[in-house]
Amino acid sequence: MILDARSKSKSVRTFSFMFTFLVMYLFWLFNSGMFEIFYLSLGAASAFFVAYVFHSRFAMIKDARSTFRAFIRFMGYLPWMIRQIVLANWDIVKRVLDPDMPIDPRIISFQSTLKSDLAMTTLANSITLTPGTITIDIDPGGIFYVHSIAKEPAESLLAAPPCEMAARVGYIFGESRKWK
């Protein structure tokens, strides 16, 4: 019985490793456009190295099912995130061109409910990708420090915990229920 569980766990890890390798290699092929044997082997070596480091060093992937679920949820998160980036860019353009729009820099802090380092890093990067806000620091306890160009961009992060962005990121990694 214990032997079956170990062999199943090993097969899941092997599948997960091969899946990561394949995705990285296909990504490399589509982006390089080089199909000579030297470049194909260089791409395979690079994809193998990334998959090895990702699985052994960081151990972010626990099983193939949760990885696939997170990938699908992340693909659903991207359109929302792109929309937020566009809206924030528009807000910055209005602030630059309209003298009545305030530029009132401030540093805010908020407590996140996210637990994993990967989820907190994703949230920090999402905040920083949104123009007008930059994540300055994250305490080990999950307190985020964010610089904001004005009060309005910061208000969405200070909304009743968790903010929508944190709830969406938490959903990707299975740390929160689906956002509203």
pLDDT at 1 over 50: no
pLDDT at 5 over 60: no
Distance between CA 63 and CA 78 in Å, rounded? 23
Torsional sign, CA 155, 159, 161, 165: negative
Specify the DSSP class assigned to residue 58.
Answer: I
- pLDDT of res. 143: 92
Higher-scoring residue by pLDDT: 180, 19:
19
- Judge if 76 and 33 occupy the same domain: no
- Judge if 130 and 51 occupy the same domain: no
CA distances from 174 to 69, 142, 161, 170 (A): 9, 17, 17, 6
Q: Answer yes or no: is 180 within a domain.
A: no
pLDDT, mean over the chain: 84
- Judge if 90 and 130 occupy the same domain: yes
Its domain, for residue 51, covers 2-61
- Judge if 28 and 47 occupy the same domain: yes
What mean pLDDT comes out for the span 7-18?
73
